[in-house]
Homo-oligomer: A and B are copies of this chain.
């Protein structure tokens, strides 16, 4: 705000600051959210506050796969323990949100391993900063017959996948990665060149 103009209450400035830490929330969005919460006369602000505390207190990482858990193991690992999921097929992803995306497909009934990031020397994220040691330990301890690498299709994700593939192959376990290619429902015309090149090089014979 220009000089000389009354500033916002400190409590509100603090809320704006906290909101702007969130991804995709800039100054304007933070303002809109904060003013919305104010207009609801405390009720929404309080229930959101309570939900945040509850999440902070009740949710931890699964001790085995690092997905979200309320107990030592997450619901997915628990299901695998009682035979409701295929514990021999392990899908490696970067973050918990990726598990939701794969679960939504309904096409995978195995278990997961969340790396909690991807290798990125530029950002100072090295092999010891993500859950690679834990993954290798699982491969030694559990009866896993196939590892599906599902890191993101970008530079960091691919580098991480390549690095993991070599390590896992050394242990003698089968490794695959998700297919790269054309997304469904698009037109060739609107597909970027990198994706199209991948779709070409990855073509399958009919």
Contacts and interface: CB of A to CB of B under 8 A. Distances in A.
Contact of A39 (B17, B74, B95): B95
Given A68-B9, A79-B6, A104-B1, A45 B53 contact: yes
A64 B97 CA distance: 47
Given A33-B22, A39-B95, A95-B39, A15 B55 contact: yes
Interface in A1-29: 1-2, 5-12, 14-15, 17-19, 21-25, 29
Given A2-B104, A75-B7, A76-B6, A24 B29 contact: yes
Interface of A: 1-2, 5-12, 14-15, 17-19, 21-25, 29, 31-39, 42, 44-59, 68-70, 74-76, 78-79, 95-97, 100, 103-104, 106, 116
20 contacts: A1-B103, A2-B104, A7-B75, A8-B100, A9-B58, A9-B75, A11-B57, A12-B59, A14-B51, A18-B44, A19-B48, A22-B33, A25-B33, A35-B95, A39-B95, A42-B56, A42-B57, A45-B53, A45-B56, A48-B49
